[in-house]
A and B are shown apart, each in its own frame.
Chain A
């Protein structure tokens, strides 16, 4: 590790911004070394893990060197000409360009190596239970082949069965494939960003070329509104600004010129990046990188390179498939051995094996799960959570950490005046979303003066034609602070525009970063008063420097040290709240010195800019959304840790975190404790601080262990000043804690983090297309509170899927037992394989989907997120209770029906034992029943089908009871309401309806093995259905009565 740190230190320039680059190159190496590396590091546990990461870092450091080779921004124009063999005025020759194009390829992003559609399709065909069913189908065909060869009399039964099984697999495969095809390809949006045309100088002529024809060394011209066609080193620029938000997440347009301003190629002004937008101005530049070698190209390949993690629900389903498949195979093999040792023919044993497999596999379940998830997804879309990846629905429910952006997600994404300071007093302003008045005391003459400065010393304007719209929603031309001030004064003073018209502006110095103030000189609206009013606003300390007096209650008083102290205190306090503070001052220019003919010259500054009168302070903040504090406290009670990750200043971040409750009122950071106890930060016991504000700069120097420690020890964490690339590090850190991490993001560079997260959430309004594509979910209203409603839905669906699976698994036993008894007791087969498929894919489908509509049993937001390792979708209790209790009850009920049918037709139960061989022998056509009557083979077979139908009907009837009991897991059905979920009743009616149609409608189609059943046989299993309901009510009662007891532990699933 030491060697590594040394190396890192050597290669990393100390500049603050170079971290961005370091991150980036580290991240790239993931792509370069491939996902194998990633897996390897994940595979190791404990120390080994870190060792691996160390190894990886070494390679990353080497990568870093390579990355820093980009030195084009340091070169002069002529050096550039030399390096790329081009001419700034004439451009490349067409021949040279063609040569380079042949060498480097098209200037476009390579789509990721897409899995061919057919492969995806075939994958669906062999995933999950499909393999088992294929085995079943192949066995069917083999045995049918053997039967044909042996000349048995009905060799085609097995052939058909095989075809049916194959059809089931293919149909469910098509369904799953269709679902998967709906999820979009991430590269699509990256390619959408590629500009179509570029203006290139070649052979000394300007040409419009498709951007993908660009090569290194081409001279291109860009103008406002264009997308940058490649990475470009600018050689001439006029007022050029680019919007880098798709790359860095900064929404402020960045000026671009041809000067080399920074060592870091990402920071310097003379490089414009592929796929960013030129907002205004024009520029000319040399292409230095094309296609995948551009910065964005690397991010794009990175986003598709970061392995998409398996979603928790996918893991759960896999676990469940393994479990059921394990049961199916072991019972199958066990009974294969039993039947062989019972001297059954191998062929017969194989046929038994098929039956056992088909009975054990819940064919319809995976489709049901998909449908349930998509129903929830629809419900979530209504609540502004658009889910792209179905499985993400549940992932959101198991989320244990949400890493949220601040701006726009937690906050309203607009500056608003929050506090004012005048007359030595701090006033609070209303910051809610729909303010129409302000409650603070506005009677002081100082306020009149202050409000005048605020209204006049402001360049922002409302866009015309918005009279009807509420002030807060109007569109403003101007920067964020000025917009805030404009809206603030519009609310308080009324029509600001007319005030400005009355106080005509005669001179103005706009804000710039060296002066740090803005100044304007106005005529006054008082006709008698001919003096000019000079108003000024800016950084408070700079404003104060220029003042000699201060206005208190409308009177100018000298600014003595006591008053300056008061100012300092107020400034610190407002600043400490994370607010952007502006100072305001004014001066009435004496009429004698500045008559109304006086011409003000802003360059010469022929007017006083000192000894002004200080009036007050205004502070602004991007205030939290009003729904957020509530949502955060909901997360807290739901055991979800909310981590704020922002690029903002730590103080602002902390203030917002406090106001929304991410840092709760009582908890302190290490710094807070140090301040309170008045001891150095180093001496504070870090364990005492529950909250932490981590600066991006600190994060950069942290080892993985240190990061893990922070994530582990603090429950309330804010990451401030983080680059979007660090998000990936934070996400990985959280995942190392075993958390299910949800991450919000909007920029292109967030996409690796969004991909890496268990659930990536993109912003619907502010988000870039790439972020939306990388994400699993899109928040249509950008509101944090919507995530929380999503979590609620996700938790509900997990519970409901449990119910669905429990419902589905139960009847597997009732389908399996017939085969086992058939083999052991040699009775006529109680239920056929085809009939089982009719239950699994017919009567049971709608009821199991209906369970997805079940309401929550209790407040699901009051329990902790499920533990991925322990709270499985299908746990031992669920399987055991379904298989060994309810399943057995169902089997008993179904067998009673079976024996009743046979007995009433002439075969008493005892007669049936051991008859299998003769029963199935088609050479015996005078088979005697218990009454001495004689049956032909066909008559017996028909009776056997009647038995199938009866067995089917009684499973269906008992599944109705099973459906009702599965509505709740703990509460009584009567607490939950039998009729609240109407869809359940649709399920019950559909179930019985399908059974009626199969029995009476298709009862004469012999191939389906259904016969019109005597009506009374429908009721034989009813007592058992009632028994199931009563038994389950007792179970739930005992669970409620004795929580934590042996019963609760063993019977609650």
Chain B
């Protein structure tokens, strides 16, 4: 065993390693002759080329089976996610804190809203059509230009007091801030089963006064003619319908927990997912 237990010194190890890298007697570079290295490299090159080819072939045939208009499965998208604007995330989810008297604390929030609404200007929406029907806008054919489907217009003025047009500060300095609720797009999702889903905001937990909210559009509904969504390829100019909420009686200097749920058949809530079918956030207005 003696031979195997030999403790080599560092310099010996280095020397051994150097000999391994280049052995001048046998002319071996890292244990192989140069020609051997060429062969082995060629073999591996060929091997990897073939493997890459196989991979590319697999992906290509995968893409061939994929429907470009809608995904094969929507296993995770049973119910839409809900998002809030402005969205400021703190330690535990959304936290909107600001001070009325310090306009630096809310100017950012207002800008977020303005930026968000730029997609809803009449100019941005010019490709979409005006819809008036209060039923699902079902299109079995491609009626739009370039083999697309039509999408209904949603412009920011529909949000009235919260559109940023009449009140460019969205009520933030007054302590009656506007928030915009957006429902995530899901292809061929029919929310509400014929009745328009609506937004309902309440306090989480017990608060002395019930929350007073103004909803825009009226009743805080998402009109059914925005549904169903046919996907990016079919409806390239589609934009989500929005609901704006304006809180009217926020107690100052208190952190309040508010939840805005979308109520309608087919919209479910998931214990693991804080943003499915509803959005929860903390609000604190100081003065």
* A residues adjacent to B (C-beta < 8 A): 39, 41-43, 45, 49, 151, 153, 309-310, 315, 735-736, 738, 758, 868-869, 876, 884-885, 888-889, 892, 895-896, 899-900, 903-906, 908-909, 922-923, 925-926, 929-940, 942-943, 946, 1006, 1014, 1027, 1046, 1050
- Contact (Cβ within 8 A) A903 B184: no
* B185 on interface, CB distance cutoff 8 Å: yes
Please give, as numbers and ranges, the residues of chain B lying within 8 Å of A935 by CB-CB distance: 76-77, 81, 184
Given A758-B1, A1050-B40, check contact A936 B273 (CB 8 Å): yes
- Contact (Cβ within 8 A) B238 A153: no
Which of A151, A885, A925 touches B275 (beta carbons < 8 Å)? A925
User: How close is B165's CB to chain A, nearest CB, in angstroms?
Assistant: 24
* B residues adjacent to A (C-beta < 8 A): 1-7, 31, 36, 39-40, 43-44, 47-48, 51, 54-55, 58-59, 62-63, 66, 69-77, 80-83, 87, 89-93, 182, 184-187, 229, 231-233, 235, 238, 270, 272-276
User: How close is A331's CB to chain B, nearest CB, in angstroms?
Assistant: 18
> Whole-angstrom distance between the alpha carbons of A884 and B92 in the complex?
45
User: How close is A180's CB to chain B, nearest CB, in angstroms?
Assistant: 20
- Contact (Cβ within 8 A) A939 B54: no
User: How close is A146's CB to chain B, nearest CB, in angstroms?
Assistant: 14
Q: Offer 5 A-B interface pairs, CB within 8 angstroms, sorted by A.
A: A41-B2, A904-B66, A908-B63, A925-B275, A932-B233
Given A315-B4, A931-B232, check contact A888 B83 (CB 8 Å): no
Please give, as numbers and ranges, the residues of chain B lying within 8 Å of A889 by CB-CB distance: 51
- Contact (Cβ within 8 A) A934 B74: no
> Whole-angstrom distance between the alpha carbons of A1027 and B53 in the complex?
14
Please give, as numbers and ranges, the residues of chain B lying within 8 Å of A923 by CB-CB distance: 87, 89
> Whole-angstrom distance between the alpha carbons of A991 and B267 in the complex?
40
Residue from the set A899, A922, A939 with the largest chain B CB neighbour count within 10 Å: A939
Which of A736, A869, A905, A922 touches B75 (beta carbons < 8 Å)? A905
> Whole-angstrom distance between the alpha carbons of A784 and B83 in the complex?
81
Please give, as numbers and ranges, the residues of chain A lying within 8 Å of B71 by CB-CB distance: 903-906, 929-931, 933
Please give, as numbers and ranges, the residues of chain B lying within 8 Å of A937 by CB-CB distance: 273, 275
Please give, as numbers and ranges, the residues of chain A lying within 8 Å of B186 by CB-CB distance: 933-934
Please give, as numbers and ranges, the residues of chain B lying within 8 Å of A49 by CB-CB distance: 2
Q: A899-B59, A938-B272 are in contact. List 8 more A-B contacts (CB 8 A).
A: A39-B7, A151-B90, A735-B1, A905-B75, A906-B77, A922-B89, A933-B187, A940-B76
Please give, as numbers and ranges, the residues of chain A lying within 8 Å of B36 by CB-CB distance: 1046
Given A931-B187, A933-B187, check contact A42 B6 (CB 8 Å): yes
Please give, as numbers and ranges, the residues of chain B lying within 8 Å of A884 by CB-CB distance: 44
User: How close is B19's CB to chain A, nearest CB, in angstroms?
Assistant: 15
Least CB separation from B57: chain A residue: A896
> Whole-angstrom distance between the alpha carbons of A905 and B87 in the complex?
27
A-B pairs with lowest CB-CB distance, top 3: A932-B232, A936-B81, A934-B184
- Contact (Cβ within 8 A) A939 B4: no
Which of A926, A1006, A1014 touches B182 (beta carbons < 8 Å)? A926
> Whole-angstrom distance between the alpha carbons of A735 and B72 in the complex?
68
> Whole-angstrom distance between the alpha carbons of A904 and B82 in the complex?
23
Given A735-B1, A904-B72, A926-B184, check contact A938 B275 (CB 8 Å): yes
User: How close is A909's CB to chain B, nearest CB, in angstroms?
Assistant: 6
> Whole-angstrom distance between the alpha carbons of A43 and B7 in the complex?
6
- Contact (Cβ within 8 A) B74 A938: no
Please give, as numbers and ranges, the residues of chain B lying within 8 Å of A895 by CB-CB distance: 55
Please give, as numbers and ranges, the residues of chain B lying within 8 Å of A315 by CB-CB distance: 4
User: How close is A1048's CB to chain B, nearest CB, in angstroms?
Assistant: 13
- Contact (Cβ within 8 A) A896 B62: yes
- Contact (Cβ within 8 A) B55 A892: yes
> Whole-angstrom distance between the alpha carbons of A534 and B75 in the complex?
109
- Contact (Cβ within 8 A) A936 B276: yes
User: How close is B258's CB to chain A, nearest CB, in angstroms?
Assistant: 17
Please give, as numbers and ranges, the residues of chain A lying within 8 Å of B3 by CB-CB distance: 738, 868-869
> Whole-angstrom distance between the alpha carbons of A740 and B127 in the complex?
85
> Whole-angstrom distance between the alpha carbons of A904 and B67 in the complex?
9
Given A153-B92, A932-B232, check contact A939 B55 (CB 8 Å): no
> Whole-angstrom distance between the alpha carbons of A905 and B274 in the complex?
21
- Contact (Cβ within 8 A) A905 B232: no
Please give, as numbers and ranges, the residues of chain B lying within 8 Å of A925 by CB-CB distance: 81-83, 184, 275
Please give, as numbers and ranges, the residues of chain A lying within 8 Å of B4 by CB-CB distance: 310, 315, 868-869
Least CB separation from A757: chain B residue: B1
- Contact (Cβ within 8 A) B1 A939: no
Which of A42, A934, A940, A1027 touches B185 (beta carbons < 8 Å)? A934
Please give, as numbers and ranges, the residues of chain B lying within 8 Å of A888 by CB-CB distance: 47-48, 51
Least CB separation from A737: chain B residue: B3
Which of B7, B74, B83 touches A926 (beta carbons < 8 Å)? B83
- Contact (Cβ within 8 A) A310 B5: yes
Please give, as numbers and ranges, the residues of chain A lying within 8 Å of B59 by CB-CB distance: 896, 899, 909
Least CB separation from A1006: chain B residue: B272
User: How close is B16's CB to chain A, nearest CB, in angstroms?
Assistant: 13
> Whole-angstrom distance between the alpha carbons of A934 and B185 in the complex?
5
> Whole-angstrom distance between the alpha carbons of A935 and B187 in the complex?
12
Please give, as numbers and ranges, the residues of chain A lying within 8 Å of B74 by CB-CB distance: 905-906, 933
Least CB separation from B55: chain A residue: A892
- Contact (Cβ within 8 A) B238 A939: no
- Contact (Cβ within 8 A) B1 A905: no
- Contact (Cβ within 8 A) B233 A939: no
Given A315-B4, A736-B2, A926-B184, check contact A1046 B39 (CB 8 Å): yes
Please give, as numbers and ranges, the residues of chain A lying within 8 Å of B70 by CB-CB distance: 931
> Whole-angstrom distance between the alpha carbons of A933 and B235 in the complex?
12
Given A309-B1, A922-B89, A926-B184, check contact A939 B273 (CB 8 Å): yes
Please give, as numbers and ranges, the residues of chain A lying within 8 Å of B184 by CB-CB distance: 925-926, 933-936
Given A908-B63, A922-B89, check contact A939 B6 (CB 8 Å): no
Least CB separation from B87: chain A residue: A923
- Contact (Cβ within 8 A) B5 A39: yes
- Contact (Cβ within 8 A) A931 B231: yes
> Whole-angstrom distance between the alpha carbons of A884 and B41 in the complex?
12
- Contact (Cβ within 8 A) B185 A903: no
- Contact (Cβ within 8 A) A946 B75: yes
Please give, as numbers and ranges, the residues of chain B lying within 8 Å of A905 by CB-CB distance: 71-76
Please give, as numbers and ranges, the residues of chain B lying within 8 Å of A929 by CB-CB distance: 71
Please give, as numbers and ranges, the residues of chain A lying within 8 Å of B77 by CB-CB distance: 906, 933, 935, 939
> Whole-angstrom distance between the alpha carbons of A895 and B4 in the complex?
42
> Whole-angstrom distance between the alpha carbons of A49 and B6 in the complex?
11
> Whole-angstrom distance between the alpha carbons of A938 and B272 in the complex?
7
- Contact (Cβ within 8 A) B7 A943: no
User: How close is A243's CB to chain B, nearest CB, in angstroms?
Assistant: 34
> Whole-angstrom distance between the alpha carbons of A87 and B231 in the complex?
113
Which of B72, B90, B231 touches A932 (beta carbons < 8 Å)? B231
Which of B5, B63, B69, B81 touches A934 (beta carbons < 8 Å)? B81
- Contact (Cβ within 8 A) B73 A904: yes
Please give, as numbers and ranges, the residues of chain B lying within 8 Å of A310 by CB-CB distance: 1, 4-5
Please give, as numbers and ranges, the residues of chain A lying within 8 Å of B7 by CB-CB distance: 39, 43
User: How close is A312's CB to chain B, nearest CB, in angstroms?
Assistant: 8
- Contact (Cβ within 8 A) B81 A926: yes
- Contact (Cβ within 8 A) B54 A892: yes
User: How close is B239's CB to chain A, nearest CB, in angstroms?
Assistant: 11
- Contact (Cβ within 8 A) A932 B238: yes
Please give, as numbers and ranges, the residues of chain B lying within 8 Å of A309 by CB-CB distance: 1, 5
User: How close is A333's CB to chain B, nearest CB, in angstroms?
Assistant: 18
Least CB separation from A152: chain B residue: B91
Please give, as numbers and ranges, the residues of chain A lying within 8 Å of B55 by CB-CB distance: 892, 895-896
Please give, as numbers and ranges, the residues of chain A lying within 8 Å of B2 by CB-CB distance: 41-42, 49, 735-736
> Whole-angstrom distance between the alpha carbons of A736 and B5 in the complex?
12
User: How close is A924's CB to chain B, nearest CB, in angstroms?
Assistant: 9
Least CB separation from A1050: chain B residue: B40
Residue from the set B4, B6, B73, B238 with the largest chain A CB neighbour count within 10 Å: B4
> Whole-angstrom distance between the alpha carbons of A636 and B177 in the complex?
95
> Whole-angstrom distance between the alpha carbons of A884 and B73 in the complex?
35
Please give, as numbers and ranges, the residues of chain A lying within 8 Å of B81 by CB-CB distance: 925-926, 934-936, 939
Please give, as numbers and ranges, the residues of chain B lying within 8 Å of A41 by CB-CB distance: 2
Please give, as numbers and ranges, the residues of chain B lying within 8 Å of A942 by CB-CB distance: 76
